[in-house]
Amino acid sequence: MPQTSATDDVQGHGPVLAPSPGPTNPMASMPRAGLKHGTVHHFRQQVAGGSTRIGGGFRVRPGTVFELAVFPDLEHDPTRNDSPDPNFDGCSLGVEFITETGSVTLRDQHEHVIDGSRQCLVADNWNLLQLSLDELVGQRVEQVLLASRAGLVGSGWLQVFGMRPRPVEEPDVVDRVRTTRGTHSAFLYSRGNALPLTCVPQGFNFLVPLTESRDRNWLYGWHRDGGPVPKLSALAFCHQPSPWIADRSAFQIMPWQGHMTASPTKRARAFSHDDEIDRPHYYRVDLDGGIRAEMTPTSRAGVFKFTFTESARHGVVLDQPFVGTMHTETLDDGRVAFHASIAPAEGWTVGLHRPSPPAYVYGETNAPATVHRARERRSPLEGIVINGKRLHKSWFGKLTVPLPRPQAAILETEADVLEVRAAMSFLGVEQARRNLEMEVGQASFDDIAGRAHATWTELLGRLEIVGGTLDQRITAWSNLACLYSWPNDHHENVGSPEEPRWAYASPFRPAGAHTPDHTGCQVADGQLSVNNGYWDTFRTCWPLYSLLTPEKAPELLGGILQQYRDGGWMARWSAPGYVDCMPGTSSDAIFADASLAHTFASGSDELAAYDSALRNATGPSDSVLTGRKGIGKGRFVGWIDTDTEEGLAWTMDNASCDAAISLWSGRLAVRATNDPRLASRREELEANEVWFANRALAHAEMFDAGIGFYQGRRPDGGWRVEPKDFDPRHWGHDYTETNAWGQAFHAPHDGALLAKLLGGEHTLADKLDEMLRTPAVTSPAMWGSYTYNTQEMNEAQADGIGQLAISNQPAHHIPFMYLFAGQPHKTQWLTRELLDKKFVGSEIGQGYPGDEDNGEMSGYWLLLAMGLYPVFVGGGELAITAPLFAKMAWNRTDGTRLEIRATGIEHRYIQSLRVNGELWNAVTIPAELVRGNALLEFELGPEPSSWGAGTRPWSASTATGQARRWQPDRTPAASYDGPECLVDDRGENHADLSAGDVVSFTWEQPFTPLYLTVTSPEAAAPGLRVEVRCDGEWADAAVVTRSTPHPDQTAAYRVGSEPIDELRLVATAPCRLSQVEVY
């Protein structure tokens, strides 16, 4: 504790300290509380600088650290325009140790010298510093001083915990994982927005502890729910992919002692994080009252163990947070069996227009127990719906009465140790019972924990690391575990262990009536993977699944492809069915990248995936849940206009996906020569390669040279905002979860054209530099189309790295855009800066700069640590940057090994690189080179070098060897003879052509056409003959029209390679057309 008063300065005018309850308005933590138990002081730096005593008078023991917590205050109110700009001075503090031999400044757990420079302190967040005392062992520390440089006038809060044992690395790789990383989060600020997931890799259920058991969104808060003394209110089955998507099908188990109650607030028990073990295979916590709670998973089941050490009455509560039923049965031996039905969650998240399937639970106790009816005090008005709207809690007032809780039961036991074994099913109660029998059976708690541990050991044990800090090593294995926690199985074994037959309750097909014992969903055969937001995960997770576990990737790809086979569309977000969330059909890029990695289970899987991408790209969906929004018109004009929310973001993501589809089409066309399954589609594939390559360039049409940024176009083609009214710091409108700065570099597939649009590569580099210099300030004037200061705004502001909002996925490729400007050293510096300072705080439930998102942020860290990154997913190459460790290696099950070594690891700049012994001077490497045995040897140095500066990543606009721009439809420039609806760029109406009818286009100047597109409201092949005129002679273009898998899908055709000045379509049979374009 600080041994000082507000006037007890030691040197100069050090920070003034005063007792305080804690931060008044922290966004991710509990207000007016310290990080841990102990006195909290508010500090304010003095402009003259100086030091203030905060401790001392102890002799240093071996194996110890000096621990303190700092909460730097930005002194900025993001809800007021007149609030002062953020002040980061409070992040710049030093700590000096005065011993018999002089003054010493020490390093923290991240190897940062705490000398008054900012280092890795994150503003408006608690930060834990553990200063190594190794060099002072045996010495007496007379004083510990909090120091501040002259000119700094920041403030914040401080806790001093003094000398503590130094954390040490666990020898077991599974025990290095911390599942509570990312849980020190809340609605307005995320350090992960994660949950402590106890599970098997990519299992059916998660088991999680809850500090809030009547919420679907924020279920476990490291500090938010109780500060230094959080309270556990349940252990639970959980299926939450994100707090923004919310939980569903929750089933909760909670021990009680003394007073029997189902109320979450009354049954909750305090605990300390020091008494918590958070591992992927096992969770344990010691609760107030001498109760120990433990749980361990299988895929579809879990075993919960409760140990009671006091003599009071005790037992467990079986509960569901929302609507459902509970049935119990006392077995002949006195044990209790129970089964529950959990109602479908309707309206639980914005964007989900179809309820999730119901869930069913079956379980048993291992010891005799008595069943008591559950009651809970609540309002009799709760749950009432009037005119389709559920009454808000504010209408209830404080009117509560004891009411039965039919979805819960209370069990009382005399056993000191009670185990509850339970399994879940989406098919029915009987299947839940079978899941329990097949996955748990008569195995003990320790047996199940041992199996889960062995599964994780097999996966995590493939990673080898030499070097790095303890926190970085914990981060590595924790991120690897998080990466492989997703996506989740949704299928169940309706066969036997010896002869499994997989089936699932379909979230895509119309459902019938559900019963308390069985789903009304249609039961489909196959394996389905769910709980994934592809806008996030396509960037890192899916490339890593193919790179690290090529034996597992085909199963995962087939699991998500089942969405298309079952529902006709790929999800943009699956939870478990279609969710209207985020722009872009990013599964297109996932599948294109998998084609490059050869990780489809079969050729038929790859073709189905390809067709799913075509459906997304070539025609509109009749539901907002699926497909590309605005594509009905956008496929003709080249962009998505402002009539579609975030149309600019859709356009940019579409362009990147189209580039991936183009390359994929080209590869398939080449294979069609020798693959009979593809031979009949060769002409289609060749046309698609050219068509989508052109579409990929349309991002340039969204670049407004008058402002130097991308912005949205109105339906009339004009810009959304005039230059005089444009401010790139405004959030929303055209930009998804960001502002114009956040999407200023949103062309990872075409950095060369972006550089050209900006005025050259030097201008691109200058723009990136300007982004890093431009402060992010959150205020109502900057909210744009948002109505409050969102978490992304708050995170970008507190990170203090300009407008680089690295806390969110759209920014993850931005550090690599320096490669397109020939300045790879800036990429190297910046990626190491991010690893060094933005992924800290594992000890206190942090660890991420923003939402973790189904393994994506974990995957991002792993890739940066390897020194590799897929800037353009589907492009086939990995960008290179400075790795983090002296050695990082991955051993695959097929015996191949990827190993990255680096010398001079304390530095950030690449001096040289060898790949398998050969010098490598390019800033990218073909992904294929690292899929087998590969050794990358880096030499790092303290200064930038010329390494890689003469090379560039692949760009769509220069892929042919010459710079290209988007070619718009040429029909507006033609003299046209035909129905107007065929050239209106809308495709909403159609024309009925009779045999012999002609639609013709004539141009004043000849040109060489790239392709022709034809759109029909019907799936059948239109009866058409395409003729072209060249030098006055008409010729058959040899176009064979084809059917499409679905109505209203646009199809592209090659029409030769000679210049033409006229083209006509001749109906050879009655047909219907809605649009014709010539490029």
pLDDT digits 0-9 by tens, 137-176: 999 999 999 999 999 999 999 999 999 999 999 999 999 9
Q: How far apart are CA 225 and CA 234, in angstroms?
A: 13
Which residues touch 377 (CB under 8 Å, ≥6 apart)?
263, 400, 401, 402, 403
Q: Choose among 366, 364, 365, 495: nearest CA to 427.
A: 495
CATH topology assigned to domain 9-165: Jelly Rolls (2.60.120)
- DSSP string for 720-771: SS-GGG--TT-BSTTSTTSBTTTTTT--TT-HHHHHHHHTSHHHHHHHHHHH
Number of H helices, E strands in the chain: 18, 57
| 3-12, 138-147, 177-186: least confidently modelled range | 3-12
Which residues touch 954 (CB under 8 Å, ≥6 apart)?
872, 875, 876, 877, 924
The residue with tokens 């940024």 is 709
pLDDT of residue 379: 73
* Three-state DSSP string of 954-965: CCHHHCCCCCCC
Q: Do 571 and 581 form a contact (C-beta atoms < 8 A)? A: no
**Band (390; pLDDT cuts 50, 70, 90):** low
Does the pLDDT at position 427 exceed 90?
Answer: yes
The residue with tokens 């958070």 is 278
Q: Do 207 and 236 form a contact (C-beta atoms < 8 A)? A: yes
Q: How far apart are CA 342 and CA 493, in angstroms?
A: 20
pLDDT of residue 997: 98
Mean pLDDT across 945-953: 98
Q: How far apart are CA 862 and CA 869, in angstroms?
A: 9
> Which two three-digit tokens encode residue 551?
């034996």
- Considering the four listed CATH numbers 2.70.98.10, 3.30.70.1450, 2.40.50.140, 3.40.50.2300, the one that applies to the domain covering 199-377+405-460 is 2.70.98.10
Backbone region of residue 168 per phi and psi (left: phi > 0; alpha: psi in -120 to 50; beta: other values): beta
pLDDT of residue 164: 98
**912 burial class (0-12, 13-18, 19+ CB within 10 angstroms)?**
middle
- Mapped onto helix, strand or coil, the DSSP state of residue 885 is coil
Mean pLDDT across 1017-1037: 95
Q: Do 503 and 346 form a contact (C-beta atoms < 8 A)? A: no
Side by side, the strands of the sheet bearing 1060-1067 are 975-977, 998-1007, 1060-1067, 1024-1030, 1033-1036
**833 burial class (0-12, 13-18, 19+ CB within 10 angstroms)?**
middle
pLDDT of residue 403: 86
pLDDT of residue 356: 83
Q: Do 49 and 167 form a contact (C-beta atoms < 8 A)? A: no
Q: Strand locations in 320-358, DSSP E?
A: 324-330, 335-342
DSSP tag of 1021: P
pLDDT of residue 1030: 87
Residue 483's Cβ-side half-sphere holds a number of Cα atoms within 13 Å equal to 29
Segment (H or E) for 873: none
Segment (H or E) for 256: strand 251-257
Pairing of strands 283-287, 1075-1078: unpaired
Q: How far apart are CA 1028 and CA 1012, in angstroms?
A: 11
- Mapped onto helix, strand or coil, the DSSP state of residue 348 is coil
**1048 burial class (0-12, 13-18, 19+ CB within 10 angstroms)?**
buried
> Which two three-digit tokens encode residue 526?
């196959």
Which residues touch 549 (CB under 8 Å, ≥6 apart)?
459, 484, 892, 893
- Mapped onto helix, strand or coil, the DSSP state of residue 221 is coil
Residues pairing with 532 in the sheet: 574
> Which two three-digit tokens encode residue 466?
């030499």
Using only C-alpha atoms, the chain has a radius of gyration, in whole angstroms, of 31
Mean pLDDT across 108-129: 96
In the chain, ranges of CATH 2.60.120.260 domains:
971-1078
Q: What's the distance, Cα to Cα, between the start and end of the chain in Å?
A: 74
Residues pairing with 307 in the sheet: 292, 417
Percent of the residues in the chain that have a pLDDT greater than 90, as a whole number: 94
**Band (396; pLDDT cuts 50, 70, 90):** low
Q: Choose among 340, 354, 297, 320: nearest CA to 488.
A: 297
Q: How far apart are CA 216 and CA 218, in angstroms?
A: 7
DSSP tag of 683: H
For the chain, what is the mean pLDDT? Answer: 95
pLDDT of residue 383: 60
Chain centroid, CA 671 distance in Å: 34
Pairing of strands 359-368, 335-342: antiparallel
**Band (579; pLDDT cuts 50, 70, 90):** very high
910 phi/psi in degrees, rounded to 5: -70, 125
Mean pLDDT across 893-904: 98
**452 burial class (0-12, 13-18, 19+ CB within 10 angstroms)?**
buried
In the chain, ranges of CATH 2.70.98.10 domains:
199-377+405-460
Q: Choose among 359, 274, 299: nearest CA to 488.
A: 299
**Band (2; pLDDT cuts 50, 70, 90):** very low
Mean pLDDT across 1042-1058: 96
Q: Strand locations in 621-739, DSSP E?
A: 703-704, 709-710
Mean pLDDT across 926-937: 98
Which residues touch 1048 (CB under 8 Å, ≥6 apart)?
619, 620, 632, 987, 1015, 1016, 1017, 1074
CATH code of domain 971-1078 = 2.60.120.260
Which residues touch 440 (CB under 8 Å, ≥6 apart)?
298, 301, 303, 421, 423, 448
Q: Choose among 891, 199, 220, 840: nearest CA to 484.
A: 199
Percent of the residues in the chain that have a pLDDT greater than 70, as a whole number: 96
Q: How far apart are CA 857 and CA 806, in angstroms?
A: 10
Cα dihedral sign, 448-453-456-457: negative
Q: How far apart are CA 844 and CA 836, in angstroms?
A: 17
Does the pLDDT at position 397 exceed 50?
Answer: yes
Mean pLDDT across 248-273: 96
Cα dihedral sign, 536-538-542-543: negative
Q: Choose among 142, 215, 230: nearest CA to 184.
A: 230
- Mapped onto helix, strand or coil, the DSSP state of residue 842 is helix
Residue-wise pLDDT tens digits, 23-34: 999 999 999 999
Residues pairing with 327 in the sheet: 339
pLDDT of residue 388: 58
pLDDT of residue 7: 34
In the chain, ranges of CATH 2.60.120.200 domains:
9-165
pLDDT of residue 1078: 98
Residue-wise pLDDT tens digits, 763-782: 999 999 999 999 999 999 99
pLDDT of residue 351: 53
Mean pLDDT across 513-534: 97
Identity of the residue numbered 540: T
